[in-house]
Structure 1
Amino acid sequence: MNKKLLLDQLERTVSLKVYPPQRIVSLVPSQTELLADLGLGDSVVGITKFCVHPSSWRKEKTIIGGTKQLHLDRIRSLKPDLIIANQEENDREQVEALAVDFPVWVSKVVDLSTALNMIAGVGEATNTRTSAEDLMLKIKTSFASLRSFPTHSCAYLIWRKPYMVSGGDTFIQAMMEVAGFENVFGHQNRYPEVTMEELAAADPEWILLSSEPFPFKEKHLTELSVVCPNAKIRLVDGEMFSWYGSRLLRSADYFRILREAN
């Protein structure tokens, strides 16, 4: 086995003692799916309870907790050659604790460009460069073919009781822009809480209710229509707006269908 030095998206040097890595733990659902699509099924040994794609892995791999509540002892017992994490989705203290004993490659994804860079980085870290480059080309092509739509003001809700929305410094924000939406809460950071009064005052033309992390359903449309009676309110697949791995292969077509159907 060879050794290798890598640079992650936080500009940290990550030293792999085993290259290519034979025992990989993924701490992020969208990056778990990416590892599967890069053909690394035999190398991935641990995933989170939220890693739902591919579904078969939930029975085949060791579940190492949630993205922000990892079972560190369980991860250590797997003796990983590489751990793949994300700055936003994982707890910093837990990631730093793991990095004392294991190589941890951390992604930082804020838009399509950094998502593509993440795919390239994971390809380099796992010795799957060719597959990663092919995937990146397909994603770039799909987004390049997405036509521009008239811009509409929009609120993207991720939680209920209290209502929480996507702010302006998120990957969701970047995907909203690609789909032709102007985020009415784009001036706020991260995922702020908003009241019904604030939502009404923002008066968005569209309200998108995400399927995750809160599972909005048809029954929630009515309560939002009372707050913003003139808005188009739609349930949307949160994975298309917030997953930044190989799921991006489907996002551009999803945005096109969403806009053309309305």
Structure 2
Amino acid sequence: MKQFIDQLGTVHVFENTPKRIVSLVPSQTELLYDLGLEDQIAGITKFCFHPFHFKSTKTIVGGTKQVKLDKIIALQPDIIIANKEENTLEIVKELERICPVWVTDIVTIEDNLKMIEDFGLIFNKRTNAQKWIDKIVFAWEDFKIFIENKPTFKVAYFIWANPYMVAGGGTFINELLKLNHFENIYDNNPKYEGRYPEIVFQKMRIQGDPEILFLSSEPFPFKDEHAFELGRHTHHAKTIFVDGEMFSWYGTRLLKAFEYFKLLHSKL
């Protein structure tokens, strides 16, 4: 009998190491795979793109906001992996009737490292988890040196259009923006509270007048026309299409993100 506490403070007790996993979070599916748990992963979402072959080898149980309960029940999972931001409280409560639902809550890099450590303990993959933690911490320290003397830019990070929505404060995206010396004009903006506020893009000049507009590759497929429309309402801000996975995915993806950020700075 082993007891663990997830990042929402919920206590979980397992008689044995969980052997059948359903993951409702794309980035955490990738993490589970990287920890050597491919054979234990039974179900994933339709948005779990990495690793690619899971689409044909694992059962798709729906999306992150809507799941197919019958499919999950049929998989007889020992544990379901969810996330406070990706999945709704209603889904979590419903799934708790099937088996323990482990909910992560990632805002900082430290939160991310704690998640990896937790998975290592729960699934008896401590050595693999520590290797990933060590690699991420080393890359993080290296990036801090890289970014130390880089200038600060005022930015807006767009995640959606029609209506336009941005990453605000209290998000993992915002933490990575700050790490990169990008000052998010919607971080702690009193007019636009919340993690992903809908904004009046025509007022960007008076909202903070960003120097750079980031258009994320997910969850919305931004196009050139969006860049043009947004750019018209700034004082000549530079518009850059960015890989949303590098800014928003938790887990092992962060290791690749540090190298991606270095390349991004070379374009500024």
Please state which band the TM-score falls in when normalised by the shorter chain: over 0.9
1:259 matched residue in structure 2 = 265
Alpha-carbon shift at residue 217 of structure 1 (Å) = 2.8
1:176 matched residue in structure 2 = 177
TM-score, normalised with respect to structure 1: 0.95
2:103 matched residue in structure 1 = 106
Give the whole-Å Cα distance in 1 for the aligned partners of 2:181 and 2:223: 23
Give the whole-Å Cα distance in 1 for the aligned partners of 2:104 and 2:120: 13
Contact 1:72 1:94 in 2 (8 A): no
Deviation digits for residues 83-124 of structure 1 (CA, Å, limit 9, x no counterpart): 111111111111112113301111010010101111111111
Give the whole-Å Cα distance in 1 for the aligned partners of 2:122 and 2:101: 10
TM-score, normalised with respect to structure 2: 0.93
Contact 1:16 1:82 in 2 (8 A): no
1:194 matched residue in structure 2 = 199
Answer yes or no: is 1:63 the counterpart of 2:51.
Answer: no
2:130 matched residue in structure 1 = 133
Deviation digits for residues 20-68 of structure 1 (CA, Å, limit 9, x no counterpart): x211110100000001101111110000011000010011101011101
Contact 2:2 2:14 in 1 (8 A): yes
Give the whole-Å Cα distance in 2 for the aligned partners of 1:157 and 1:246: 23
Give the whole-Å Cα distance in 2 for the aligned partners of 1:229 and 1:184: 14
Q: 1:12 aligns with which of 7, 10, 19?
A: 10
Residue range with higher mean Cα deviation, 93-102 or 132-141: 93-102
Contact 2:3 2:13 in 1 (8 A): yes
AA at the equivalent of 2:85: E
2:226 matched residue in structure 1 = 220
- In the TM superposition, structure 1's runs of 4+ consecutive aligned residues that sit over 4 Å from their partners are none
Residue range with higher mean Cα deviation, 132-141 or 90-99: 90-99
2:250 matched residue in structure 1 = 244
Deviation digits for residues 173-220 of structure 1 (CA, Å, limit 9, x no counterpart): 001011110100001321011112232322101110000000113343
Aligned pairs for 1:28-67 within 5 A: 28-67=25-64
AA at the equivalent of 2:10: R
Contact 1:176 1:183 in 2 (8 A): yes
Report how many aligned residue pairs link the two structures.
259
Give the whole-Å Cα distance in 1 for the aligned partners of 2:126 and 2:221: 36
Contact 2:117 2:126 in 1 (8 A): yes
Give the whole-Å Cα distance in 2 for the aligned partners of 1:91 and 1:16: 24
Alpha-carbon shift at residue 224 of structure 1 (Å) = 2.0
Residue range with higher mean Cα deviation, 156-165 or 224-233: 224-233
Give the whole-Å Cα distance in 1 for the aligned partners of 2:4 and 2:114: 13
Give the whole-Å Cα distance in 2 for the aligned partners of 1:145 and 1:164: 32
Give the whole-Å Cα distance in 1 for the aligned partners of 2:65 and 2:16: 27
Q: Secondary structure at the match of 1:59?
A: helix
Give the whole-Å Cα distance in 1 for the aligned partners of 2:69 and 2:252: 27
Unpaired runs of 5+ in structure 2?
A: none
AA at the equivalent of 2:167: S
Answer yes or no: is 1:22 the counterpart of 2:28.
Answer: no
Give the whole-Å Cα distance in 1 for the aligned partners of 2:8 and 2:226: 39
Q: 2:117 aligns with which of 114, 117, 120?
A: 120
Contact 1:17 1:81 in 2 (8 A): no
